Chain A
Amino acid sequence: MLEIKNLSVSVQNKTIINSLNLKIERGKKVAIMGPNGSGKSTLSNVIAGKQGYQINDGQIFFNDINIFDLDPEERAAKGIYLAFQYPVEIPGIANSSFLRTALNSIRKYNGEKDLNTREFLEECKNLSKKLNLDTSFLSRDLNTGFSGGEKKKNEIFHMLMIKPKLCILDEIDSGLDIDALKVISDGVSEYSNENNSLLIITHYQRLLEYIKPDEVHIFNEGKIIKSGDYSLVEKLEEKGYQEFV
């Protein structure tokens, strides 16, 4: 699904990602853990196509296409989704109309017809129930005045509606209470199947306890310093990052 080859990225001449190699197979759940400032968010933004990063070396392939030739919206249309650590607010635009615009843009890119509005709203309502969200949250302005937990849930809500092939969850668990964390991880686990892949970026063990990743990588100073299976998470929780650095 995703293959990162020898990637080096810097911001204002400071190296953030350093000769990174990472492969995410179809159907796999991959976790990246690492301390603050280790370059985790930079990695997710470089995959999603945010501007302002200097790519010094390397390539990223998504289903064998080099994505550095694609705009962020094209990457999104091809199935890359990033759940933001800090979702932005857009006043005056209802959450559901934003989502419909997004879905129709993706469909247009892929040569499909616009959504049936009624079916779309029906699906929205069912899903928001599942995520324990009041339906008023569909008509509220996008992320505007949402609590931290609501914003994160909304990212998952968008994800489940857009149905991407690769979901990058950038610290989706930060600032969540236990109930919200449960709802979100249930949603993610249910979505995960043999046709899509997850890249979960986090500091903490708790989310991973629910989602149970297939592979775990420990990230520091822009590279992977240790890889393993879920047992690595437990080891990390016990001994802390210092042990591996």
Chain B
Amino acid sequence: MTTSETAKIVEEASEYKYGFTTDIEQEFAPKGLNHDIVKFISKKKNEPQWLLDWRLNAFDMWKNREHEMPEWANLKYDSIDFQDIHYFAAPKSDEEKPKSLDEIDPELLRAYNKLGIPLKEQEFLAGIKNSHKVAVDAVFDSVSVATTFKDELNKLGIIFCSFSEAVQNHPDLVKKYLGSVVPTNDNFFSNLNSAVFSDGSFVYIPPNVKCPMELSTYFRINAANTGQFERTLIIADRGSYVSYLEGCTAPMRDENQLHAAVVELVALENAEIKYSTVQNWYPGDKNGKGGIYNFVTKRGTCLGDNSKISWTQVETGSAVTWKYPSVILKGDNSKGEFYSVALSNNMQQADTGTKMIHLGKNTSSRIVSKGISAGKGQQTYRGLVNVLPNATNTKNFTQCDSLLIGNDCGAHTVPYINVRNELSDVAHEATTSKISEEQLYYCRQRGINEEDATALIVNGFCREVLKNLPMEFAVEAKKLLELSLEGAVG
């Protein structure tokens, strides 16, 4: 490799493309967490009493466990001072909520354009021919700033809006399902989120409606010393279908920032939810300074018979990732899927996987996990397949592959399998491999340089997962993988 190439790669590797900050006036809650802060957030959102009570109850539960952060994961990080965080930040210009996209602060629109997320519907329509329409909800720090294609979705009875709006306009649905999949005290972070969640997305698909476009939320952390605690709730009613995608970025900062989201999915009889994530929070610099602490609880319930929930995630960002998108297979014949690519480069650490809880009869689940470690990255797959006594004729297949790049990284696999009846079929396959010198030499002999060859081999390794993403996002995810790998070889 020539010196100039090396210099270029080093330069690019140290550059997180989404690392800009946006200079807009923000309104913050004071640092720290107590009853008053919870009340402040609730009041800011003009919430009904029942929700405030729900939050306060969550806060009291959390207060009792404030010093009991989970320690079982294979992660090392500095302890988090939960009293040194702003729990609410909002762009000031949003004080009077914009009525239409035209009223949005141009600075905000510019920020989203920089991220490649057009918030103006006409930009979608003027986009590439044949590309699918994507409705976007954009969340900037603690508030949702814009949701597109609302009218078109409304005609079908589809509700796609910010969580705060759903609380105002669809309180019955929110009240019925909030916390029904992830109970408040499920874990430390879901507990914290339940007290202080700020905004997020809400989706309801009415019976027998197939949502005609991808629904998508982009999350952006902008403010410093601010935690992001969004809450997403998706309900697919009988016989409906929805494909939902979320993407995330954050500015480069030397301090670690906390992100603790809760996502709940509910699929009723014959319904299907496909949930895809491209997570690219700021990973910290080469030496592990800064980066997002990503502690996320995602879970779906296949509540009705013949329902299906499918998680696909591409996790390339964050300094620390702690995330186990899971499916509770309650309805008979229901299906759960988990497809994951997680990449840890430099000092990144990820402890991620899934839980498939089989309760209903003839339920099936499929887990495909691809972990890639480079630099000094550490990668752990942690998964549970739990088949309960009544879940007869359950089928599970787990494929868990790790790819190592270089000599200083690590890959770990921790599968838990618990089968409590004799009529089920559970299979687990795992491999660990390294990109071999022979593979790289072969590619280079064909004219492909080492960086590109590595990206090619990694993309091949991940193909089974990437092909599950909606097409446009699969391309984006591929690029992201390549970008995240830069500097990993040579």
Contact = CB atoms under 8 A, between A and B. Distances in A.
A101 B444 contact: no
B442 interface: yes
B112 interface: no
Interface size class of A (residues with CB under 8 A): 20 to 34
A72 to B, nearest CB: 4
A107 to B, nearest CB: 9
Contacts of A105: 446-449, 452
Q: Which of A51, A99, A101, A103: most chain B Cβ within 10 A? A: A101
B444 A88 contact: no
B437 A51 contact: yes
B1 A90 contact: no
A103 B452 CA distance: 13
Contact of B444 (A73, A87, A99): A73
A101 B448 contact: yes
B441 A50 contact: yes
B460 A93 contact: yes
A102 B453 CA distance: 10
User: For B446, B452, B456, which residue has the most chain A Cβ atoms within 10 angstroms?
Assistant: B446
Contact of B449 (A73, A87, A92, A142): A73
Name the prevailing secondary structure of the B interface residues.
helix
A106 B461 CA distance: 24
Contacts of A17: none
B441 A72 contact: yes
Given A73-B448, A101-B452, A101-B456, A92 B464 contact: yes
B68 interface: no
A98 interface: yes
Given A51-B437, A91-B460, A76 B442 contact: no
Contacts of B437: 51-52
Interface string B449-490: 110100011011111100000000000000000000000000
Contacts of B444: 49, 71-73, 76
A84 interface: yes
B445 interface: yes
B436 interface: yes
Contact of B439 (A48, A88, A101, A162): A88
A109 interface: yes
Contact of A90 (B445, B449, B460, B462): B460
A53 to B, nearest CB: 12
Interface string B420-444: 0000000000000000111101111
Contacts of B1: 71
A95 B438 CA distance: 17
B68 to A, nearest CB: 42
B445 A76 contact: yes
Contacts of A162: 446-447
B473 to A, nearest CB: 18
A152 B143 CA distance: 59
A84 B459 CA distance: 23
A85 to B, nearest CB: 12
Contacts of A82: 445
Contacts, number: 77
B445 A93 contact: no
Contact of A92 (B441, B445, B448, B459): B459
A128 B436 CA distance: 28
B456 to A, nearest CB: 6
A230 B337 CA distance: 63
Contacts of A87: 442
A73 B444 CA distance: 5
A141 B442 CA distance: 15
A45 B311 CA distance: 45
A77 interface: yes
Interface in A45-102: 48-52, 71-73, 76-77, 81-82, 84, 87-88, 90-93, 98-99, 101-102
Contact of B447 (A52, A76, A88, A93): A76
A161 to B, nearest CB: 10
Nearest to A48: B445
Nearest to B444: A72
B457 A93 contact: yes
A77 B463 CA distance: 28
A76 B460 CA distance: 23
Nearest to B433: A91
A115 to B, nearest CB: 13
A86 to B, nearest CB: 8
A28 interface: no
Nearest to A75: B445
Interface string A146-164: 0000000000001000100
Nearest to A103: B447
21 contacts: A51-B437, A51-B441, A72-B441, A72-B445, A73-B445, A73-B449, A73-B450, A76-B446, A76-B447, A82-B445, A84-B445, A88-B438, A91-B461, A93-B460, A98-B446, A99-B446, A101-B456, A102-B443, A105-B448, A142-B460, A158-B446
Given A88-B439, A90-B456, A98-B456, 5 more contacts: A49-B445, A88-B436, A93-B457, A105-B448, A162-B447
Interface of A: 48-52, 71-73, 76-77, 81-82, 84, 87-88, 90-93, 98-99, 101-103, 105-106, 109, 141-142, 158, 162
Interface of B: 1-2, 436-439, 441-450, 452, 456-457, 459-464
* Closest 4 pairs (CB-CB, A-B): A92-B460, A102-B446, A93-B460, A72-B444
